[in-house]
Chain A
Amino acid sequence: MNTTLIEYLPYILCIAIICTGLYGTTNSSNYLKKLVSLSILQSGVILFFIAIAKVKDGQIPILACLDFKQCPEQLINPLPHVLMLTAIVVGVATLAVGLALIIRIKEEYGTIEENTLIEAEQND
């Protein structure tokens, strides 16, 4: 069994998700789609951090092994998970600000299609 490929699989998945998000943000003309793609991009990064914390046959880092110095290799690293809690909050905040801006754009211009908006901007 080719274990290296299996070990790389989560990272390949993360990179694929990140690339999908990047493609979506740059290539879609609808602002809502852009914002959703941005969320996908951030999810890819979150998955990446979760993947690096994983230890094969690892346990959750509470009580099962009180002496950390002796058995770090049996524990899943909790730090990336904690970091990602913050990153998720940041992602939600970004999404909220973005959606608020989209609502304002819709109110002012009556559309959220990029091509129409650029025309409207040049005519102003």
Chain B
Amino acid sequence: MIKNLIALEIAIPILIGAANFINRKRGLAYFLTLLTVTASFVIAIMILLHSLTTPSISYHFGGWAPPIGIEFKITRLNALFLVVVSSSALLTFLYGKQILFREIHKRKISPFCSVFLICLAGLYGIILTNDFFNLYVFIEIASLATYALISIGINRNAIQAAFYYLIIGTIGATLILIGIGYLYIASGTLNIDDFIKNFAQIKHLKTVKLGYYLIFMGLFIKSGLFPFHSWLVKAYKNTNSFILPFLGSISTKVYILILLKLIYLSFGTEYILHNNILQPFLIVTGVLAITVASIIALYQKDLRSMLAFSSISQIGYIFIAISIGTKASMIAAIIFILSHIIAKMALFMVCGHIYYYKNTYNTEGLYMLFKEMPYTVVIFLINAASLIGIPLTFGFVGKISLISSLIEQKMWFVLAAVVIASFITFKYFWNFSEVFLFYKKYMPKEQAATKIEVIETKFSIAPILVFTLLTFINIGLGLSFNKILLAAEKLLI
């Protein structure tokens, strides 16, 4: 029973997504998609509960045993991320009905929902698959759907951003494909577990080395590591506000998860990180990401491009955590990924909510927002605190475990960069908070003279409920500090 659920998790979104294309009624399309996403969320929860008792479940497609057939594998880590992705999709749909119906043309909503479901299935596939070539195919499915989702935007530049992402993303995916080819030449197998079984005999080969360099390079491009980040800013800045909470928090993190699994669980840190160019490369790019991207974020006037640069700097923290190469640092990386997903999703939702009422992302239109949308601004502040790493939030747990593993490895220079970058993070969020809270004197005179009313609940209360829920999750996880570290230990069995 549970094994079939693994296949259904992928099959249901693809089938409903395909069926949705014929449908012309937008209300029905929205309802059907919401239902599908809920179903996949329930399945993910069932898989997670089952994986607590049996750590490893594998599903063989068509009944062919692994080295020949394609295998899906559930570990606790995979099951956890399955739940994270499906719950993010569910929350996005609960939050964004009004935004979806306003920003997207009514005839495009049902194809949009279809493409979203196919993207979701691709992301599930990336998390679950245990086969190199299957991984490539799912990466392409998810990416192609993502290009289409990004191309519908708040202005025409979104199409250009989608095209730019298509070019860069396809180059990244092609690099992954060549890398898989090299690994296949060396080992004669495509199954990851089977590959690792014979790994000791082939690990000295240059073919293997080139293969994983190419795969990692592709994954770096896909996950928006610092020198390869330009597509990310363009896409986040121009796309529609409905899809951004989902894509902005989930899509890059899934590729980081694959990287994490390959480095820590498949190839082994001893081989990949120590005595290898990859570790210094990751540290240098990570430090550059957290400092340079934060400094660029200081000068942004647009709320969403500030959050995009903040994403790049957060990805830098995650890569620093990955590059340390101990078990504690891997746990730090996972906690960091989770905390970033929760906080960034809430922030992008706040963004979309502000845009729905104010019709602008620019600071010039958002002076004294606190008077109009007090509750939304408070949520913004709490989640910004989580990204900065202020105590009592989930981001603090991630940052403190990163810092403790840096101290353990005596990487003082990197530690200094992390601390400085945290202060810059505080500064760029403060820039926007200042605008929201205090800048009355910059407002246009006639607007400042009139009495400002609270408008945030005029049309719908659903977005507020969703990002409040996310904020509660954030603080709840931040308060149960020790329990999280214990649970993370168990995650890796």
Contacts and interface: CB of A to CB of B under 8 A. Distances in A.
Interface of A: 18, 22, 25, 31, 34-35, 38, 41-42, 45, 48-49, 52, 79-80, 83, 86-87, 90, 93-94, 97-98, 101-102, 104-105, 108-109, 117, 121, 124
A38 B167 contact: yes
Contacts of A31: 163
Contact of B171 (A22, A49, A87, A98): A22
Contacts of B30: none
Nearest to A38: B170
Contact of A101 (B166, B181, B190): B166
Contacts of B136: 87
A101 B162 contact: yes
B9 interface: no
Interface in B142-200: 144, 147-148, 151, 155-157, 159-160, 162-163, 166-167, 170-171, 174, 177-178, 181, 184-185, 190
Given A83-B133, A93-B144, A105 B181 contact: no
B166 A98 contact: yes
B181 A45 contact: yes
14 contacts: A25-B171, A31-B163, A38-B170, A48-B181, A49-B181, A52-B184, A52-B185, A79-B190, A86-B133, A90-B137, A90-B140, A101-B159, A109-B156, A109-B160
Interface in B364-397: none
Contacts of A108: 156, 159
Contacts of A121: 157, 160
A48 B156 contact: no
A52 B163 contact: no
Contacts of A45: 174, 177-178, 181
Looking at A38, A52, A90, A108, which has the most chain B CB atoms within 10 Å of its CB? Answer: A90
B160 A41 contact: no
List 6 A-B pairs, minimum CB-CB distance, nearest first: A108-B156, A101-B163, A90-B140, A104-B159, A121-B157, A83-B133
B64 to A, nearest CB: 13
Interface string B309-342: 0000000000000000000000000000000000
B174 A41 contact: yes
Contacts of B155: 124
A94 B173 CA distance: 11
A87 B180 CA distance: 12
A103 to B, nearest CB: 10
Contacts of A22: 171
A86 B131 CA distance: 14
A94 B163 CA distance: 11
B373 to A, nearest CB: 26
A87 B181 CA distance: 12
A94 to B, nearest CB: 5
Given A38-B171, A105-B163, 18 more contacts: A18-B178, A22-B171, A38-B167, A41-B171, A48-B178, A49-B181, A52-B181, A52-B184, A52-B185, A83-B133, A86-B137, A97-B166, A105-B159, A108-B159, A109-B160, A121-B157, A121-B160, A124-B157
B234 to A, nearest CB: 9
Interface string B183-222: 0110000100000000000000000000000000000000
Contact of A105 (B160, B177, B185): B160
B144 to A, nearest CB: 6
B174 A42 contact: yes
A117 B148 CA distance: 19
Contact of B163 (A18, A79, A98): A98
Given A45-B177, A48-B181, A98-B163, A104 B151 contact: yes
